[in-house]
Structure formats: structure tokens, C-alpha cells
Structure 1
């Protein structure tokens, strides 16, 4: 069975990663693209060999498609996802699912009511490095996990700056762009949920309009694990990494907070050091593979709609903490959505 996709948003991320990921599957094809600009839609379709270009959501949802990939600016996700669900189309949506976790919950509810698959495109879950870390922890190779650290402060390239650093109303800022990924990756690797966060934010010159371009968070998880995450748009020379420290060992991963299947994972214990081996599969191709399987009734997306609600609620709490100067509890009602 072929799965025909419609792209909601003629975006850079779709061009760089998702189009090839969908086409990498024998059962996947891209049937249409929508942009609010007819000229952009036509140009994008021509450049990427997409047969249909439209400029309205109704036209896209009325086309012969089975699923949509939403990569518009954040404030548009909710209405577009609700319309797609109502039309019976499966939805893979970029993070954050919406501007608020309450709106993200509406998307989950609508998807359930419509009987369609809703996935959040948290690509980092699909990295072989992170899956190898999760498996090592589950196998007890570092004993009882105690603490974790994520380093994900990078330099936002000029072609991606735009609304991310100028438009609060579009969900700009580093927390909704990167922190939301980091807390999801922590949840996935640790197989645990955050219950509280303390966050400091900063603006050091790139972001305007009251938006933050740097953040540092301390997370407390249900099991008692504490974790630190550092996100930024302004550090040109920083590497990325992810460490988990346990009672019997540590996992030290380098260059793994990336869209590409790069990096290394070192396991350090009393026995010495071991470089963990893991697959180098394309993250987005794997995401699409799991999404297609879920449409076919096998398993679920790599990150579900519920996962997207969790990460957004956590990012919301981080923003509240950053503005209030106080630790903020993460909505416990989400626990029932696991």
C-alpha cells in the first residue's frame, strides 16, 4: 500500500530531510505541497519534483493524500493539525505541537476521535546513539542512573534565524526550538518523566522582541534523577553532547545532538572504557518508517502526540521558571497520557 503525503509548509527542513526520507521508502510518495504563497508553492514543487502545488489548506486536504507533514511556523500547527485530523489524514507534526500544552492536548484528543495517527517529529529519538544509550541503561550497564547532562548550545545559521529570533507570536526563542527537543531526548534515554524544572534564560544579542537565545535548565525526574540541559543559538564553537552518570558507570556521548547520524558513545565503568556500536541510519528515514508502520497498525510513531504534549508542557514550565525565577512543577495530569 502506497502512502501519499502532502507537505503543509514549503520548508527548509522538508527540503533538507523529510522529502528524501519519505522517498526512501517504497511505500512513500509526496503528492502535494502547500504554501500560503502560490508562487513559493509552485517554485518549491518544481524544485523538488512534487506533482501538485496548492496555496490553501482545503485544497491540500482535498487532494488524494493519506498523511500530512506539518512544518509551518509554530502558531499555525494547531489549526492545521485539527483540520487534517477532521479530514481523516494522518499527521506528523514538527515540534512543538502547538504554542501551549493545552492546545497540544486538543490535537491528541482530535486524533483519537478521528482514528488517525498523530506523531511529533522529535528526530533525536531516532538517533542510533540515543537508542544505544537507552538500551545500555535499561540493561543495567551503568547501575542506577543518578544524573544527566545535555549540551545543545549551537549557532543558529542565518538562513534559519528569521521568526525564531524575532516573533514571540510564532513561538520563537530557544526554549521552544531546542529545549523542547532536549527534554524529549532526556525522557527517551532515561525512560523517565520530568516533574520539576528550574531555568535561567538569557538574550545575548541575536534574539530580539523579548525572546531568549540561551537557556540553562535543571530538571528533576520522577525517579529522583537530576539533569542539566544547556541550549543556545549563539555559541559558534561549542560541541554537543549527552552524559548519563550512574552508580556503576557513565555514558559519555559526543556530537550526538544533531540531525545527522553522527557522534560517539563511550561507556566507562570499573572494567574500563568501551565505545558502544550503533547503527548510523538516517534519523528522519527511521521516523518515517515507524510512522508508516503505525499507519499500518504496527506499533506507534517514534514520538507520539502524547510525547509531544510532554515535551511542550516541560518547555512551558521552563519558560515560566525563567520569567518567575522559581522552580516550576510540570503538569502531573500528563502522567495519565503515558
Structure 2
């Protein structure tokens, strides 16, 4: 299967191109960029045969079976719908759309067309997070009472741009990081938040969009979740914790694209270091995607996962704006 890249992005060149190429039988045929010279340079640097500035031209290539969308957030919806209409399988960056309606439309369109549609939520592919999920699912910490996510980082200068100053392109820490934490909590607890409260603001980097947010979510099981996301914290480190009736899990520096960090289990027997597989997150994600296209299994994060993580992020943003608790609307999913 040949792929078209919709977006000459850093995440594509740093992670996804390699992850596609290591899969048996997959190769990359083309890339789309709104800037012809940028697209041509990207294609040349990454050994991609074709470069386009016109989406319809790229999608008209019948040899392309799948696309990876990594453009700015406001472009995901129209580009995904065009790719789906052309019969292409789609791996789309998060958040799927600017609104819940957009995200739902994308997923429903893929269902109607019979193509695989997935969301690129990388964290659920990490060995550390797979180990955490297994600990929780196997009952090692008993009934989960609470969780805490701290995902406050220093956004690298080369990634700033629209993320810190362009609300119309989907900028802000909530669509950039909170949406990932929503997916990760859903992955670990196998349930969806009911309602949220939140407070957001600018703490030195955001220009018209929030660069920091804290929120608390209520879960159907009764568990409470506390999250903190920011673009401005250079030395905080990241992590996730789960606390239950029989033990706690402490994971540090695992909210990352790399297979790093530590996981510890603390219970009545003391503290135990938890071993986990250090495979490449994106290799696993693309392998599962390719398997789904071949009719075996499902993507690590499918369209419904993308809708639900966006729904939580949108509720966090509304709660921060209104100062009130907001019920999470999942758009029928």
C-alpha cells in the first residue's frame, strides 16, 4: 500500500515516515504542502517521489491507498472528508476537528465509505502505558479512586507559531495536549469522563490562546481525575498517577513520544519497579493501522477515540471559559 502525506510536517519527518516504511509492503508516494518549494524540499529530503500543492491531484492517484493528515487543526476536517470520498484510508492527527460536529462527520463518513479511520494518539502505544493499563485491568491497585496527570512542558521554539498565537488554526494547549491526556485517561480506565471543571490562562507564551490549564474530571466509576497541561514549564517533568484501594502507580516522564520514563507500583508489599517494552510508539501504531486495513484487528486509536478525546478537551475549554461545570457531550459516541 502506498501512502500520501497531507502536510509536510515535523511529526511526519521525525516519526511517521519511518513508522510507515518499516511496515512490510508500505511505502510513501507523495506529500502535499501549500508551499511548493517547501513541499519539493520535504520530498527531496525524505526520498518521496511526488510533491503536490493541490489535494485533489494527490487524491486522484489511484496507487495511493492511505493518507496521513498532519496539517494545522482547522484543515483536518475538509482534508479528511476529501480523502474519504476518494476511498483512501485515513490516519489523522489529533484533534480530529475544530468542533465535535466536524469530528463526528469525519468518522461517520469513513464508516459509510468502508475505509479505516484512525486518530494518531501516540501515548496509548507506549510500552509504559501498556504496562500501566495492564496493572489497572488486572486489579493490582484495586478499585481506582483517583488519577493525576501532569503534562506541563516547555513547548520548543520551533513548534510554537500557530500553536501559541492562532485560535483560528486550532492553537492553544487544550487542543494540543489536553486532548492527548483525555485519550490516555480513557485508555487506562476504560471509561469516559462525565463532567469537568477547569481554569485556563496565559502564563507567558500564549498570544490570544491559553497556554496553561488545570481541570478536574468526574468518571462514571466515581474516580476523580486531575490534569495540568502547559506550554511554559521547562523543568516540571511529566507523569501520570493512579491511586486505588490496594495500591498506587507512579509513572514519571512517560508523557512523551519516546519510549522512556519509569513506572513504579506501590502497595502493601512495598515499592516495585515495573518493567515495560521499549518499542517505538509509532511503529506499533502504524503496524496496527496496517493490520486494520488488511482486515485484522483495529487501529490503536480509532475514530471514536478521536471524537471522545476531542469532546473532553472541548468540555475543558468551555468549563474554563464559563467558570462552571460542563457535561461532556460525546456526539452520540
Q: TM-score, normalised by structure 2?
A: 0.98
Between the aligned partners of 2:168 and 2:127, the Cα distance in structure 1 is 35
Per-residue Cα deviation, 1:110-132 (whole angstroms, up to 9, x for no partner): 00011000000000010111111
Match of 1:259 among 241, 257, 260: 257
Matched position secondary structure for 2:38: helix
Q: Give the whole-Å Cα distance in 2 for the aligned partners of 1:187 and 1:305.
A: 14
Supply the distance in 2 between the matched residues of 1:247 and 1:267 (Cα, whole angstroms): 13
Q: Which position in structure 2 is the counterpart of 1:80?
A: 79
Q: Distance in 2 between matches of 1:273 and 1:27?
A: 44
Name the counterpart of 1:38. Answer: 36
Aligned to 2:111: 112
Tell me the residue number matched to 2:210: 212
In structure 2, the partner of 1:232 is: 230
Question: Residues of 2 paired with 1:323 and 1:112: CA distance?
Answer: 34
Say which SS state the counterpart of residue 79 (structure 2) adopts. helix
CA distance in 2, matches of 1:59, 1:19: 21
Q: Of 302, 305, 314, which residue of structure 2 is paired with 1:304? A: 302
User: Structure 2 matches for 1:270-289, cutoff 5 A?
Assistant: 270-289=268-287
The answer to whether the 8 Å contact 1:150/1:228 transfers is yes
Question: In 2 relative to 1, CA 332–33 (structure 1 residues): closer, same or farther, beyond 3 Å?
Answer: closer
- From the superposition, tell whether residues 234 and 48 of structure 1 become closer, same or farther in structure 2 (CA, over 3 Å): same
Q: Map 1:43-192 to 2 at 5 A.
A: 43-63=41-61, 64-192=63-191
2:3 alignment partner, one of 2, 5, 8: 5
Structure 1 residue 84 displacement after superposition:
0.4
TM-score if structure 1 supplies the norm length? 0.97
Change (3 A) 1:38 1:332: closer
Partner SS, residue 66 of structure 1? strand
Mapped to 1, the partners of 2:170 and 2:39 lie a distance apart of: 23
Question: Contact 2:311 / 2:330 at 8 angstroms: preserved in 1?
Answer: no
Kept after mapping to 1: 8 A contact 2:307/2:330: no
Residues 304-331 of structure 1: CA distance to partner in whole angstroms, max 9, x if unpaired? 1000000111111000000000110001
Aligned length: 332
Equivalent residues of 2:101, 2:331 under 8 A apart: no
CA contact (8 A) 1:218 1:227 kept: yes
Classify the secondary structure of the residue corresponding to 2:289. Answer: helix
TM-aligned CA distance change 1:125 to 1:322, over 3 Å: same
Q: Which 5+ residue runs of structure 2 have no aligned equivalent?
A: none
1:285 Cα deviation (Å)? 0.8
